Structures are given as C-alpha cells and as structure tokens.
DNA sequence: TAAGTATGTTAAG
DNA sequence: TTAACCTACTTAC
C-alpha cells in the first residue's frame, strides 16, 4: 500500500529495528543475492525516506535503494525468522528482528552518489521538514499539465499518489482538470499545507483518513465504513456512490493511465 | 483454477 | 499512449 507515508513509516521501522546494528542481508528469492553478498559484515547505519523511495544506509558508503512500486510490501518480525514465505527479495536480520521485502519495483545496492542522483530527480516531499514548496510552485507555473496530473508527478510532488491526489483536490474543491498554471497562489498554498497535514497523519496512523470532523459518519447519520485501503476518504474508489458533502455521484475517469476520482459538483470546473 | 485488481514506474513505440 | 513488470489477494467460473 505504498504512497509516501508508507515509505516514511517503513524507514522508521527499519531504523527502530536495525539502526546501528550488524545485520545479515540475504535474498531467499535470489534476485538480490549478488548485492546481498557484498553486504556481509556490514552494519546498517540509518535509513532515509524521500517521496516513495527508501534508502537503507550501510557503513561502507553504500545504500540499498528500495521502491515498492504497486505491490511491494515489507513484513517485520522478531527473530528467529521463519522459513521465507513466498518470494522474499531481501531479508534483513539482526538485533533480534527481521524484515522481509517482497515484490518491490526496485531493490538495488548503490553508492551515495547514486542515491543523490535519485533524490535529485524528485520534487519536494510534503512529509519532510526540509521540503521546499517553492520548487513545486514553479513547476505548476511553468507547466501546461492539469493540476491532477502534476500532483502525481514525482518531480513536482514527491510521495503523493492516487489517493492523496484525489483527496487533497476534493478537500480544496479543485477540479482535477484545471490547468496548473491557472491555480492561484493561495490555492496552491492550501493544497501544499493540506498535503503536509494529511500525509504526516498518514505516517502517524499508518492509514489514510481524510474526512473532516463535520462529515464524519456519526455527524452525517451514515454508517461508518472503512475503505478497502484501510482508511476513510471522500472520493478515492467511491465511484458510483454518493458524495458525503453534496450527495452527487462520485465519478471515475482515466487520466494518463491512472484512475482519477472526483465529485463533479463539489469540484466544478 | 483462472481472471481481475491494486496506493507505481519505466521503456518502447 | 501502451505494455511490461513486481506479488498477493479477491472474485468469477
């Protein structure tokens, strides 16, 4: 379930379990075996999360770069680690814990120089305290894309995915098809602040909740529900259902190969 | 048992 | 713009 908040959470979990410890890194599945062998005897120094990218830093100036993609997952547990279940790309063990990584798009050993190059391609990450929203603002101003498509563009906003895109636009009542250049500064500031709020909440809670107190089920007289992704939201994957705010039917459409959800009434053009 | 689906990215055309 | 890829789970037959 990987938008940026999941990656920051994972960084914290890897950190808590292994930072400062000698670890054994293996690849039961085999696809990371050659790199894992190069890490024999190394300690995991600390971790970093930038957008949807996770870095496990080792004490030899190298890092394991992990990107979960659409399906990747990590399972943590206490030692002794059981026989690997399914295809475990990378298992980290040490300090009384283990962590199994399955299904990532990327799991590769790289130098800190290569790490810097990866980070260099990313826009500001609302979860990070060192993020500079001006960089995102400049891209909005100079692009001809829609705001909906730029929110998914990792060079513009790092860590934002399909759920946060849909929800933040809904909360700001912005139509996803609006040209990014036409977005006013005040609207952008509101979107950015909301991303910061929602995504940091996501890190804290491990789920995405975006429904404001005044629209909560008990206030609106509807049954509480947990969406399939684990939280409660306004529009993401609620196509064909009634908008919590105005009662219109939530819509779905493809935007550059990804499914976009929005309320045609609350988010009028 | 097979097909479909998913919070993503990249490379090919 | 399309297809391919990584895996596990749900739904259809």
Confidence of residue A216 (pLDDT cuts 50, 70, 90): confident
Nucleotide nearest to A121 (CA to C1'): B9
Helix (H) or strand (E) holding A110: strand A106-111
Structural domain total, chain A: 2
Q: Give the residue with minimal CA–C1' separation from C10.
A: A228
In this prediction, residue A255 has a pLDDT band, given cuts at 50, 70 and 90, of confident
Among A64-73, A77-86, A152-161, A228-237, the minimum mean pLDDT is found in A228-237
Q: Is it the case that residue A213 has pLDDT exceeding 70?
A: yes
The band of A124, judged by pLDDT with boundaries at 50, 70 and 90, is very high
Residue A251 burial by Cβ neighbours in a 10 Å radius (0-12, 13-18, 19+): middle
Catalytic residue among A3, A93, A167, A232: A3
Report the residue count for chain A.
269
Is there a single domain that holds both residue A206 and residue A140? yes
Asked if A2 is an active-site residue, the reply is yes
- Tokens 């001006």 -> residue: A134
In this model, does residue A228 exceed pLDDT 60? no
Residue A208 confidence (pLDDT) above 80:
yes
φ/ψ of A17, rounded to 5, equals -80, -40
Same domain, A145 and A234: yes
**Domain final residue, candidates A120, A148, A170:** A120
Report the SS3 class of residue A210.
Answer: coil
* Rounded mean pLDDT, A170-188: 96
Q: Which two tokens stand for residue A86?
A: 């399914």
Least confident of A43-52, A129-138, A153-162, A213-222: A213-222
Q: Cα separation of A48 and A119, whole Å?
A: 11
DSSP A266: T
CB of A72 under 7 A from strand B? Answer: no
pLDDT tops 90 at residue A230: no
The model's pLDDT over A69-119, given as tens digits with 9 standing for 90+, comes to 988 999 999 999 998 888 899 999 999 999 999 999 999 999 999 999 999
Domain boundary (A120, A152, A170) is at A120
Span A227-251, average pLDDT: 84
Nucleotides of C under 7 A from a protein CB: 1-3, 5-8
In the structure, how far is the CA atom of residue A139 from the C1' atom of nucleotide B8, in angstroms? 21
The strand B neighbours among A residues 210-229, by Cβ under 7 Å, are 228-229
Question: Which entry of A9, A52, A165, A238 is annotated as an active-site residue?
Answer: A52
The whole domain housing A90 covers 4-120
Instruction: Please report the pLDDT score of residue A229 as a whole number.
Output: 57
Region A217-224: mean pLDDT is 72
The answer to whether strand B lies under 7 Å from the CB of residue A41 is: no
Rounded distance in angstroms from the CA atom of residue A103 to the C1' atom of nucleotide B5 = 16
Give the separation between CA A128 and CA A262, rounded to whole angstroms: 27
Q: Does residue A80 have a cis peptide bond before it, meaning omega lies within 30 degrees of 0?
A: yes
Is residue A190, in this structure, part of any structural domain at all?
yes
Neighbour-count burial for A110-146, b at 16+ CB within 10 Å, e otherwise: beeeebeebeeebbbbbbbeebebeebbebbeebebb
Average pLDDT on A229-251 reads 87
A69 CB-to-strand C distance under 7 Å: yes
Q: Which of A58, A87, A120 is the last residue of a domain?
A: A120
Query: Is A186 one of the annotated active-site residues of the chain?
Result: no
Q: A104-118, A227-241, A254-268: which has the minimum mean pLDDT?
A: A227-241
Catalytic residue among A181, A212, A222, A258: A258
Return the closest-CA partner of residue A7 out of A61, A57, A47, A63: A47
User: Is A66 a domain residue?
Assistant: yes
The string over A232-248, giving b where at least 16 C-beta atoms fall within 10 Å of a residue's C-beta and e elsewhere, is bbbbbbbeeeebbbeee
In percent, the amount of chain A with pLDDT more than 90 equals 80
Q: Give A1's pLDDT tier (boundaries 50, 70, 90).
A: low
pTM: predicted TM-score of the whole model, two decimal places: 0.94
Same domain, A151 and A209: yes
Residue A127 lies in a domain: no
CATH code at position A150: 1.10.8.50
CATH code of residue A41: 3.20.190.10
Q: Which nucleotide is nearest to A31 (CA to C1')?
A: C6
């Amino acid at each position: 379930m990987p938008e940026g908040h999941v990656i920051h959470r994972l960084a914290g979990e890897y950190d808590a379990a292994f930072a400062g410890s000698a670890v054994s890194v293996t690849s039961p599945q085999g696809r990371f075996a050659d790199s894992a062998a190069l890490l024999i005897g190394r300690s995991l120094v600390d971790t970093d999360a930038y957008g949807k990218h996770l870095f496990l830093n080792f004490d030899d100036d190298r890092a394991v770069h992990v990107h979960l993609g659409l399906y990747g997952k990590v399972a943590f547990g206490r030692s002794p680690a059981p026989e690997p279940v399914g295809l475990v790309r990378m298992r980290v063990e040490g300090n009384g814990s283990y962590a199994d990584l399955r299904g990532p798009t990327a799991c590769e050993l790289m130098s800190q120089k290569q790490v810097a190059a990866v980070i260099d391609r990313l826009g500001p990450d609302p979860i990070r305290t060192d993020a500079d929203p001006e960089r995102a603002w400049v891209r909005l101003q100079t692009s001809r894309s829609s705001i909906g498509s730029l929110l998914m563009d990792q060079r513009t906003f790092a860590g934002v995915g399909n759920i946060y895109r849909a929800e933040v636009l809904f909360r700001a009542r912005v139509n996803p098809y609006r040209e990014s250049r036409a977005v006013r500064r005040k609207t952008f500031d509101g979107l950015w602040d909301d991303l910061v709020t929602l995504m940091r909440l996501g890190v804290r809670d491990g789920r995405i909740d975006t429904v404001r107190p005044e629209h909560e089920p008990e206030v609106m007289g509807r049954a509480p529900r947990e969406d399939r992704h684990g939280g409660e939201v306004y529009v993401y994957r609620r196509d064909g259902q009634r908008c919590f705010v105005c009662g219109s039917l939530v819509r779905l459409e493809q935007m550059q190969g990804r499914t976009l959800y929005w309320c045609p009434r609350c988010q009028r053009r």
